[in-house]
Amino acid sequence: MRSPQSPQQWNNQLATLQAELADGDRPAALQVGTHVALGQLYYNAANYTQALIHYEDALNLAPHSIEALNGQGNALRHLGRHAEAIVAYDLAINRSPQRAELWTNRGRSGERLGRLREAIADYEHALKLDATRYRLWQRHADLRYRQQRFGAALISYAQALAVQPLKEEEITSQCLFIASPGPYVQRYQAAFSQLDLRLEKR
């Protein structure tokens, strides 16, 4: 989650991190952390190209850094370079398979490439590791809907609401309408008409 930051705060943080990089006496291990922090700083500012540079600088110093690999994948994903992002996530997952975030991120790039089965498998693995992720349940449900697996989609939407009951408006009241009486086809069409619009805006 990106935290709001004033331009002055951002510039101050940038200056601090750049000063750390300029310190030739700092150990390489600390410089890795500084590059990752700079990558995250630029990533949060939506400057994905500059973020990628710092994540790659970190990887030049520490090729197996999980944070740098994940950051590299995230920057590549936002730049539309999804196949490359998946390679970065693969490396991170091989090093740290217990982190649900890595599986989720790889699934998001897979989804963008149209690899829906692979994306669903990644999301489901992530949910086994951490079933408290509202957005992940929602993404899983959206993909099941795109596959016309409406029953499975409803189950995941219900799980999303169980995790975050106050987010019902994001699932939409139409989804809840599926459980009400009425013709089968009409129920599904009404329930998912607005979900189509939300998917187009993602």
Token pair recorded at residue 35: 């590059």
pLDDT digits (tens, 9 = 90+) for 57-91: 999 999 999 999 999 999 999 999 999 999 999 99
pLDDT digits (tens, 9 = 90+) for 123-158: 999 999 999 999 999 899 889 888 888 888 888 888
CA–CA distance, 194 with 46 (Å, rounded to integer): 28
CA–CA distance, 108 with 119 (Å, rounded to integer): 7
All domains of the chain in start order, with CATH: 7-113 (1.25.40.10), 131-202 (no CATH)
Helix (H) or strand (E) holding 51: helix 48-61
Is the pTM for the entire model greater than 0.85? no
CA–CA distance, 8 with 24 (Å, rounded to integer): 26
Query: Which one has a higher pLDDT value, 200 or 45?
Result: 45
